[in-house]
Amino acid sequence: MNFTVLHELEGRIRIRAHVYGKMTLHEADMLQYALIQNPEIISVSVHERTSSVLIRYKHDRQAVIDSLLAFDFKDEKNEELVPEKTGRMLNREYEDRLFWMLCRRVIEKTVLPAPIRILYTGAKVVRCVLKGIKSLKGGQLKVDALDATAVLVSVLRDDIDTASSIMFLLSVGSLLEDWTHKKSVDDLARSMSLNVAHVWKKTGDNEEIRVRVTDVNEGDIIVVRTGNMIPLDGVVTSGEAMVNQASMTGEAVPVRKNEGVTVFAGTVVEEGELEISVTAESGGTRYEKIVHMIEESEKLKSNLETRASSLADHLVPYSFAGTILTYLITRNVERAISVLMVDFSCALKLAMPISVLSAMREASGYKITVKGGKYLEAVSGANTIVFDKTGTLTKADPVVAEVVTFGGEDKDEMLRLAACLEEHFPHSIANAVVNKANELGLTHEEMHSEVKYIVAHGIASSVDGNDVVIGSYHFVFEDEKAEIPEGEKEKFDELETQYSHLYLAIGGRLAAVIYISDPIREEAGAVINTLHMMGIDKIVMMTGDSERTAAAIASKVGVDEYYAEVLPEDKAAFIEKEHAAGRKVIMVGDGINDSPALSTSDAGIAISEGAQIAREVADITVSADTLFELVTLKNISDFLMKRIESNYRFVIGFNFGLIMLGVMGILPPATSAVLHNASTLGVSLHSMTDLISRD
């Protein structure tokens, strides 16, 4: 791509792209998503109207220039980077609407002759009054009726300018509210949308092959097992499973699915296995379903939002009553109208939801997806955090350090078999095994028959008529009764203890032990210390690993308590115990075995490199590769609660002050109306601003 450098500072460069004609919205998206792939680039802002691009980068300016020179609008690879929904079209729509609204206002005030301006305003008044009358049909006084009354009284007093100003401010406020709401929901839904790259597809020979989800066509049969997300809408042709449909219904209650039943893209198999005949080649409808869920699910609202909305509804009748009472006491129409010009409902109902949605949008900028204001409130109020160990406090990408074989087995063959089994059930340790096999070039065809996953224990299958199991010591030796080959007990006892162990047994005999190196995240200790300083007084680590490994990790990262060799139900039971003690609990995990605890906690946080079911059940997902985003989340949550409380006090205090000044005759009705609407707009705009600085 050809371009011109317009301006640059250290770490920032602005260029103008040379395109044929005007840059389209899709071209702007292509350029943005292609450039952001460069790890040297921090952020990209593309302005399609002017074809200008603002890039913030780390250190290497030449890497940025090379990316710009290499970019080609005609490259299909760049096309594939652009998601189905980007938000650019939505922003363009509302930018245009706001621009033309301001233009109409300027024309109305400066160009239109007085008679035409009066007729134009009169038409708007009629629409406003009809809207107010319509709002009364439910038998309740609402803010539309209050606004209509204020506008109508202004007209009856021959104060056309005040009526026009009130309606303009209400229109701008309504547009900004709608824009912010839709943009926040759009950002949130996009981050929650389906992100499945590959799927297991059945061939005509009844074999399974791993293919890109984009290569699946209508009528193809795909296989989805425990812990995996269903990537496409379809009908079950074989199998039985419990499916979590939280993304569709908002409720994490699994539903039984069997032959002939429809399943939907984005839902997750909690237990079992399904063969699905695909009925739609794309999961695009998932986006609209998520938007609907976010907009309709009242249970996701925070208590402060609910309180503000409830108060707003209850205060509208009091505004009418105050107007009547003021007139009866003062016998002064202007003072009575001053009360009518001011209402609490508009600001309360506007500022509070905007604050929450803006906070959720801001969090998404840090790769944190929050599914409702309720969970931000829970994070702010939490005093206990429970961490899973593997893939959470330890790095999300553990590696295979060594394979120790028994019974004369070949090391590469055992790793090949382990990878063949593990690749069906994504988890950080499973990924480590698969990655090591790929690294050594140990490719394989499916070597096994049915694969069965036992949550928190391991995997069972059959190869060449022999039972094969892989998993924890408890699963392989205690549950499956595997034995150590004769004469190799001493070798087994001398296994290195600094690693986590993954045991593989064939035909009831130990065949290999895979050493998993799972180093602690460098930032784990600092994050836990910071969370302590931010008011969380109890930080707990729970793991299915051995007591020895758990103790070593706990002492290094500085948790208050730790529990080793726990099962999924143990984690959930601990959270229930904390609830019984009156404490609010955050659960942070990444595996299938964390899903019960994630569901039980006040706010379940999933590290998104982990199992899909954990991300689906969780209330919050963190896609960033650092635990410091938990500190960011806590900061956003704390500052949001402070902002909501501050907005609440300001709206009540400021509007009450306007009413008192109006009752005392200090402020005329027109001034009260302008100040009230201006303050509503101001607090709403303030609520859209970021809560924390990125510097």
User: CATH no. for residue 445?
Assistant: 3.40.1110.10
pLDDT of residue 171: 81
- Tell me the average confidence (pLDDT) per consecutive run of 10 residues in the chain, 695 residues long: 89 89 87 88 89 90 91 82 77 88 88 87 89 77 74 78 78 73 68 63 81 80 83 86 66 74 80 84 53 55 66 73 84 78 71 80 82 87 90 78 93 90 74 88 67 68 84 85 91 83 91 88 92 94 80 89 86 92 91 76 79 67 84 94 89 89 84 79 82 73
- Of 82, 115, 138, the one marking the end of a domain is 82
- Judgement on whether residues 180 and 310 belong to the same structural domain of the protein: yes
- Judgement on whether residues 513 and 527 belong to the same structural domain of the protein: no
Containing domain of residue 133, as a range? Answer: 93-188+300-355+638-688
CA end-to-end span of the chain: 31
How do strand 561-563 and strand 538-542 relate by DSSP bridges?
A: parallel
Residue 571 dihedral angles phi and psi, to the nearest 5°: -65, -45
CA atoms of 325 and 342, how far apart (whole Å): 15
How far lies 283's CA from each of 232, 418, 441, 512, in Å? Answer: 5, 32, 33, 41
- Of 355, 439, 402, 321, the residue nearest 688 (C-alpha): 355
Which token pair is 512? 């290999």
Other beta carbons less than 10 A from residue 508's beta carbon? 13
**Would you say 459 and 433 are in contact if contact means Cβ atoms under 8 Å apart?**
no
pLDDT of residue 55: 93
**Would you say 669 and 162 are in contact if contact means Cβ atoms under 8 Å apart?**
yes
Which token pair is 513? 């032990």
How far lies 36's CA from each of 39, 41, 87, 290, in Å? Answer: 7, 6, 16, 26
Domain membership of residue 290 (yes or no) is no
Which token pair is 594? 């964390």
Helix axes 25-35, 61-70, angle to 10 degrees: 140
Which token pair is 397? 């990408």
**What stretches of 410-554 adopt beta strand conformation (E)?**
452-454, 458-463, 466-471, 500-506, 509-517, 538-542
* Burial label, 73 (beta-carbon count in 10 A; 0-12, 13-18, 19+): middle
State pLDDT tens for residues 634-672: 999 999 999 988 988 898 899 889 889 988 888 887 788
pLDDT of residue 13: 93
State pLDDT tens for residues 298-318: 455 666 666 666 666 677 777
Q: Which residue stretches of 113-156 are H helix?
A: 114-135, 143-156
- Judgement on whether residues 525 and 513 belong to the same structural domain of the protein: no
pLDDT of residue 606: 84
**What stretches of 226-324 adopt beta strand conformation (E)?**
234-244, 255-257, 262-263, 268-278
CATH code of the domain containing 45: 3.30.70.100
Tell me the residue type at 29.
Answer: D
Tell me the residue type at 42.
Answer: I
Q: Residue 493 is inside which H or E element, if any?
A: helix 489-493
- Judgement on whether residues 373 and 350 belong to the same structural domain of the protein: no
| Residues belonging to the chain | 695
- Judgement on whether residues 513 and 524 belong to the same structural domain of the protein: no
CA atoms of 431 and 437, how far apart (whole Å): 10
- Judgement on whether residues 63 and 129 belong to the same structural domain of the protein: no
Domain membership of residue 632 (yes or no) is no
Other beta carbons less than 10 A from residue 141's beta carbon? 22
- Judgement on whether residues 471 and 338 belong to the same structural domain of the protein: no
DSSP-derived secondary structure letter, 593: G
Domain membership of residue 567 (yes or no) is yes
- Of 261, 269, 267, 265, the residue nearest 286 (C-alpha): 265
Domain membership of residue 453 (yes or no) is yes
- Of 430, 403, 407, the residue nearest 419 (C-alpha): 430
CATH code of the domain containing 561: 3.40.50.1000
- Judgement on whether residues 176 and 317 belong to the same structural domain of the protein: yes
Domain membership of residue 295 (yes or no) is no
**Would you say 429 and 544 are in contact if contact means Cβ atoms under 8 Å apart?**
no
CA atoms of 151 and 172, how far apart (whole Å): 16
Q: Work out whether the CA dihedral 421, 427, 429, 432 comes out positive or negative.
A: positive
- Of 32, 62, 82, the one marking the end of a domain is 82
How do strand 255-257 and strand 234-244 relate by DSSP bridges?
A: antiparallel
Domain membership of residue 551 (yes or no) is yes
- Judgement on whether residues 391 and 540 belong to the same structural domain of the protein: yes
> For the chain, what is the domain count?
5
**Would you say 235 and 224 are in contact if contact means Cβ atoms under 8 Å apart?**
no
- Of 138, 609, 600, the residue nearest 392 (C-alpha): 609
- Of 57, 82, 107, the one marking the end of a domain is 82
Residues 581/586/588/589 CA torsion (nearest 10 deg): 60
- Judgement on whether residues 124 and 74 belong to the same structural domain of the protein: no
- Judgement on whether residues 170 and 123 belong to the same structural domain of the protein: yes
Domain membership of residue 324 (yes or no) is yes
- Of 577, 572, 588, the residue nearest 536 (C-alpha): 588
- Of 182, 192, 362, the residue nearest 290 (C-alpha): 192
Output Rg (C-alpha) for the chain, integer angstroms.
Answer: 30
Identify the bridge partners of residue 557 per DSSP, sorted by sequence position. Answer: none
- Judgement on whether residues 511 and 533 belong to the same structural domain of the protein: no
How do strand 255-257 and strand 208-212 relate by DSSP bridges?
A: unpaired
CATH code of the domain containing 245: 2.70.150.10
Domain membership of residue 525 (yes or no) is yes
